[in-house]
A and B are shown apart, each in its own frame.
Chain A
């Protein structure tokens, strides 16, 4: 990848990567640090990374870096910890987007990541598997569980509002 291609990759993928990391970490500065770190890694290896694979490289490195940060901060979201306290949060929501955003935060980290990669970036199961280091079948299972959890959250919100 040339310097020009690298800069093009910044234009094309920095926003998406930042969104992916930000929505996973919910910390603006930490997300910026991860994006900066990932692009630094890309630049270091830019001679060995083809431009066509730069997006995959960025998201893979971004996911791994994010996981490292989670582990370092011991903030890895656990399923049991993600129980929703509907009564304390429901009335803040004004539209479906906010509700969905909150629902997304309740998902375990891996479920959230695969759903975001699927919906935001449009990756197929195989590509997602390469990014998060899972088999295609595992990705399908996690997306299935993630969607089911989101649906359950939306259903519970509807129940409370009714």
Chain B
């Protein structure tokens, strides 16, 4: 079987034309080509091209020589100002330049291309320098505590305080009222109680008021029917008169007159008209005016008490969780606290308005 086929015939043919093929393979190749007319036609024009190693080519290598001439002096001038020439080259170059006026000008121009040491000062170095900072090392518990204290301090700024004056009339309704009218803070009263009751409290020295009070409008009341609650002081006429007048929608008719020392106590007396007045009153008395006060009064006591019962240590995340819950209930601030615990890690994140932080701890 013939070893020559269409896939390897080039290899045999190359050996054939280089006379490296033996007689047997040569005969086999010629026989193969006889049967493959297209390949035979292709190879008929093929001639072995060889390079003549004795061919002589004349090239002028004078440009490659390191001789300084007027033609290549420019390169050496640049090399000179770059400090790349040897002493001998410098001498040779100087000699060539001295004989040619054009090269002298060229050398002068090149020497002028060296940039002068201009002084440009960066005047804002002080902004770049770093001053030594104070490093405060805090344990995680202290960090939580610090954040908690910060939140407590910030809470008043996030609470919604609306001061409502009982007398919304610009006109004075009497010197006594104008001098001694008290204000109620809306947040200090449960909303349901706030909408259903109103009162005017006037503090005055124990003397009789003869001046008639002019009608005054009341802005905090709605269309609810005002209920008048009279509390007669006629039982003890020797004491300062105490008059409590529930405010009608449009005018005052009577006044509550109490001692100054009783002002604080009286200020908390409300006149409920709901079906559960006692509960609401009790709630109003215990309700703090701000979330911060509420925290001071309740959360810290409860939280610390509970924690002490557990083991005596206050956990920062507990404080934050409780603070978050209360802030969400008592304020309209954007507050969130998440605690995720898995087998491998525990993570906390806390958000208060635009302030947020998170911590992940590997278990």
Instruction: Please report A residues at the B interface, Cβ cutoff 8 Å.
Output: 3, 6-7, 10-11, 14-15, 17-19, 22, 32, 35-36, 39, 43, 96-97, 100, 103-104, 115-116, 118-120, 143-144, 147-148, 150-151, 154-155, 158
- B123-131, B169-177, B207-215, B293-301 - interface stretch: B123-131
Complex alpha-carbon distance, A39 and B130, angstroms: 11
Q: Are A151 and B122 in contact (CB-based, < 8 A)? A: no
The complex places the Cα of A100 from the Cα of B115 at a distance, in Å, of 7
User: Which DSSP category, helix, strand, loop or mixed, fits chain B's interface?
Assistant: loop
Q: How many angstroms between the C-alpha atoms of A35 and B121 in the bound complex?
A: 12
Assembled-state Cα–Cα distance A57/B298 (Å): 59
Given contacts A7-B129, A97-B116, 12 further A-B contacts (CB under 8 A): A22-B120, A35-B122, A36-B124, A36-B127, A39-B128, A104-B115, A119-B115, A120-B115, A120-B117, A147-B82, A147-B113, A150-B113
Known: A3-B130, A19-B120. A151 touches B110 (CB 8 A): yes
| CB-defined contacts of B124 to chain A, threshold 8 Å | 32, 36
User: Is the beta-carbon distance between B116 and A14 smaller than 8 angstroms?
Assistant: no
Interface string of B96-137 (1 = CB under 8 A from A): 000000000010011011111111111011011110100000
Taking CB atoms, residues of chain B closer than 8 Å to A103 are 113
For A10, give the chain B residue with the smallest CB separation.
B128
B81 at the interface (CB under 8 A from A): yes
Minimal beta-carbon separation of A4 from chain B (angstroms) = 9
Contacts of B118 in A (CB 8 A): 19, 97, 120
Count: A-B pairs, CB below 8 Å: 71
Is there an interface contact between B132 and A3, defined as CB atoms closer than 8 Å? yes
Known: A11-B125, A144-B78. A154 touches B112 (CB 8 A): yes
Inter-subunit contact B113/A100 (CB<8 Å): yes
Q: Shortest distance in angstroms between B204's beta carbon and chain A's nearest beta carbon?
A: 68
From residue B231, how far is it (CB to closest CB) to chain A in Å? 73
Indicate if the CB atoms of A154 and B130 lie closer than 8 Å: no
Asked whether, in the complex, the Cβ of A14 is within 8 Å of the Cβ of B115, the reply is: no
> Given the known A-B contacts A3-B130, A147-B78, A148-B78, are A154 and B120 also in contact in the complex, defined by CB atoms under 8 Å?
no
Measured between beta carbons, the chain A residues less than 8 angstroms from B81 are 147
In the complex, the answer to whether A14 meets B106 with C-beta atoms within 8 Å is: no
By a CB distance below 8 angstroms, the chain B residues around A148 are 74, 78
Give the shortest distance, in Å, between A21 (CB) and chain B (any CB). Answer: 10
Contact B125 A14 (CB under 8 A): yes
Query: A147 CA to B124 CA in the complex, in Å?
Result: 33
Q: Mark B161-203, 1 if CB is under 8 A from A, else 0.
A: 0000000000000000000000000000000000000000000
Inter-chain contact A154/B109, CB cutoff 8 Å: yes
- Give the chain A neighbours of B114 by CB distance below 8 A: 119
Which residue in chain B gives the minimum CB-CB distance to A122? B117
Knowing A18-B120, A143-B82, A147-B78 are in contact, say whether A43-B130 is a contact too (CB < 8 A): yes
Listed A/B pairs (27) with beta-carbon separation below 8 Å? A6-B130, A7-B129, A7-B130, A10-B125, A10-B129, A14-B122, A14-B125, A14-B128, A15-B122, A17-B122, A18-B120, A36-B127, A36-B128, A39-B128, A97-B118, A100-B112, A103-B113, A115-B113, A115-B115, A118-B82, A119-B115, A144-B75, A147-B78, A147-B110, A148-B78, A154-B109, A154-B113
Residues of A within 8 A of B78 (CB): 144, 147-148
Residue of A nearest to B111 (CB): A151
- Residues on B with beta carbons closer than 8 Å to the beta carbon of A119: 114-115
Q: In the assembled complex, how far is the CB of residue B112 from the closest CB belonging to chain A, in whole angstroms?
A: 6
CA distance A92 to B112 in the complex (A): 19
Question: Pick the contact of B121 from A15, A39, A116 — CB < 8 Å?
Answer: A15
Which of B112, B113, B122, B130 is in CB contact (< 8 Å) with A18? Answer: B122
Chain A nearest Cβ from B40, distance in angstroms: 53
Shortest Cβ gap from A33 to chain B (Å): 11
Contact (Cβ within 8 A) A151 B115:
no
A119–B112 CA distance with the chains assembled, in angstroms: 12
CA of A100 to CA of B128, assembled, Å: 31
The residues of A that contact B128 with a CB separation of less than 8 Å are 10, 14, 35-36, 39
With the chains together, A3 CA to B120 CA distance in Å? 25
Across the A-B interface, the 6 shortest Cβ-Cβ residue pairs: A18-B122, A119-B115, A150-B113, A19-B120, A14-B122, A39-B128
